[in-house]
Structure 1
Amino acid sequence: MGRLDNKVALITGGAGGIGKGMATAFVKEGAKVAIVDLNAETGKETIEILQQYEPECLFIQANLAEHDKLNDLVMQVVDKYGKLDILVNNAHASKNMPFEEVTKEVLDLSFDTGFYPTFYLMQAALPYLKETKGKIINFASGAGIDGNMEQASYAAAKEAIRGISRVAANEFGPYGINVNLISPIADSPGVQHWAKAEPEQYQAMLSKIPMRRLGELENDIGRAAVFLASADSDYITGQTLMVDGGAIKLR
């Protein structure tokens, strides 16, 4: 038996990178997974892979910045599977630039694709997670925790997500719902692109990681998400799990 047998998970940004890694880890543990992504091409490619493990997996193409449609997104999943056990808010878009150059448009991009979808999907999913005593996994970032340069808009949204996750952990706990966060450093396509463009910066970042490597999308980040989605984490809530090779040590 898998650790997520008979569980239904909704993962935003699930077509690539960390989202795909988590979705793959989930289906290998027995979950039925609905991935949400803006990119139709990668969504179709990923869902074909997932359906090799679980034929009932679902791909939903959606723009998470269209906030008025987020409730319908949750309903699509519940209508198909009859329930929702796990909500993973992974998707986020942002632009890097010096603090003094950040505009409202740049802030809006980060909040509209990251913070607001996380907030509204948590609200929309809550009635169904109450029924299943479900799990919510949100995403933090070292950009906010450590204050990475040129990532003001991203850091602001990520720390806002951490704030509402702690509030939700307190409010949802009596319903048996766990709310936790993952703060990863992963070998994602975006990081690989950055490594080629800025090899010196990449090596400097790598040298600060005690494990001296980036996290694997499925085996490191995905397996950590499986833990938080499973019964193994039933007595853990309101926490930020640093899946970053030891780069940041929270106190």
Structure 2
Amino acid sequence: MKRLQDKIAIITGGASGIGKGIATAFVKEGATVAIVDLNEEIGNQTIKELQEFQPDSMFIQANLAEHDKLENIVKQVINQYGKLDILVNNAHASKNMPFDQTTKEDLDLSFDTGFYPTFYLMQAALPYLKQTHGKIINFASGAGINGDANQAAYAAAKEAIRAISRVTANEFGPFGINVNLISPIANSPGVQKWAKEQPEYYQSMLSNIPMRRLGELESDIGRVAVFLASEDANYITGQTIMVDGGATKLR
């Protein structure tokens, strides 16, 4: 049997990048996925690819910054499938800016698309995850853990996500729900674009990764997400898993 056979998963930002890599890894392991994304065109393209493996998978077009509508995502999935096993909070938008130039608008963008959707979707999903002893996978970043320059808004939101993930690991544990985080360095379209625009900075970053490469979206990041979503990770919760080729070593 496949590791996620008959599981139902919500994946935000699932139309492209890391989210698509996770969604692809999930459907190949038997899960049915509901990918959530703002971009309707790319979302429709991606869901067609995913449905080759799991025909019942679906695309939900949504603006995660519209917080009062986030509960509808969970309700739509429950109405469609009758249960929820896995919640992956991957989506996040942010701007890079020196600290003294970071504005409230910059902070709002990062928290509105990253922290608050993670918070509210976890709340909305909790009653259903209690029923399935489900899994939550949130996303951290080395930008927050290491305090990367020009990343104040992004780092702040990511560390806030780490904080509530630790809190909910304690609170949800008695219900058999696992809450973990992935902190990746991935070969995403955004990173590929950045590598072309700033090749020297990109090479400098690459040289600080012991594995000397970026993580592949499906085979590296997606496969770790499969593990955390599977029964193999039933006794792991509240942890930040660094999927970054050894760039950051937590103590």
TM-score, length basis structure 2: 1.00
User: What does the per-residue CA deviation read over 1:93-122, in whole Å, with 9 as the maximum and x for residues that have no partner?
Assistant: 000010000000000000000000000000
- Displacement of 1:218: 0.1
Q: Which residue of 1 aligns with 2:44?
A: 44
2:247 maps to which residue?
247
Partner of 2:238: 238
Q: Unaligned regions of 5+ residues in structure 2, if any?
A: none
Task: Tell me, yes or no, if structure 1 residue 175 matches structure 2 residue 186.
Answer: no
**Counterpart of 2:106 in structure 1: which amino acid?**
V
- Residue 153 of structure 1, CA deviation: 0.1
Question: Residue in 1 aligned with 2:118?
Answer: 118
Over residues 175-231 of structure 1, what are the superposed CA-to-partner deviations in whole Å (9 max), with x where a residue is unaligned?
A: 000000000000000000000000000000000000000000000000000000000
CA distance in 1, matches of 2:83, 2:39: 25
| Paired position in structure 1 for 2:136 | 136
Shift of 1:245: 0.2
Distance 1:158 1:29 in 2: 28
Partner of 1:221: 221
Question: Whole-Å Cα distance in 2 between the matches of residues 148 and 2 of structure 1?
Answer: 39
The aligned counterpart of 2:164 is 164
Name the residue aligned to 1:146: 146
How far apart in 2 are the matches of 1:147 and 1:194? Answer: 20
- Please give the alpha-carbon distance, in whole angstroms, between the structure 1 residues aligned to 2:243 and 2:237: 16
Q: What's 2:13 paired with?
A: 13
Aligned partner of 1:4: which letter?
A: L
Match of 1:95 in 2: 95
Tell me whether 1:109 sits opposite 2:109 in the alignment.
yes
1:60 equivalent in alignment to 2:60 = yes
Secondary structure (helix, strand or coil) at the match of 1:137 reads strand
Which position in structure 1 is the counterpart of 2:155? 155
Report the Cα distance in structure 2 between the residues aligned to 1:40 and 1:19, rounded to whole angstroms.
Answer: 15
1:85 is displaced (CA, Å) by: 0.1
Alignment match, 1:3: 3
Distance in 2 (CA, whole Å) between partners of 1:250 and 1:47 is 36
Q: How many residues matched?
A: 251
Residue in structure 2 matched with residue 212 of structure 1 by the alignment: 212
Q: Does 1:77 align with 2:77?
A: yes
- Structure 1 gaps of 5+ residues are none
Q: Distance in 1 between matches of 2:85 and 2:73?
A: 15
Q: Secondary structure at the match of 1:186?
A: coil
Q: Which residue of 1 aligns with 2:25?
A: 25
Using the aligned pairs only, state the percent identity. Answer: 78
CA offset at residue 29 of structure 1? Answer: 0.2
DSSP-derived class of the 1:6 partner: coil
How much has 1:234 moved relative to structure 2? 0.1
Whole-angstrom distance in 2 between the partners of 1:121 and 1:146:
27
RMSD over aligned CA atoms reads 0.3
Cα distance in structure 1, aligned partners of 2:184 and 2:78: 29
Amino acid at match of 2:5: D
CA distance in 1, matches of 2:85, 2:97: 38
Question: Aligned AA for 1:178?
Answer: N
Q: Tell me, in whole angstroms, the C-alpha distance in 2 between the residues paired with 1:161 and 1:92.
A: 11
The normalised TM-score by structure 1 is: 1.00
Separation in 2, partners of 1:54, 1:167: 34
Cα distance, 1:250 vs structure 2:
0.2
Structure 1 position 194 matched with structure 2 position 182: no
CA–CA distance in 1 between the matches of 2:166 and 2:97? 28
2:232 & 2:168 partners in 1: Cα distance?
20
CA distance in 2, matches of 1:46, 1:146: 33
Instruction: State the alpha-carbon separation in 2 of the partners of residues 232 and 204 from structure 1.
Output: 36
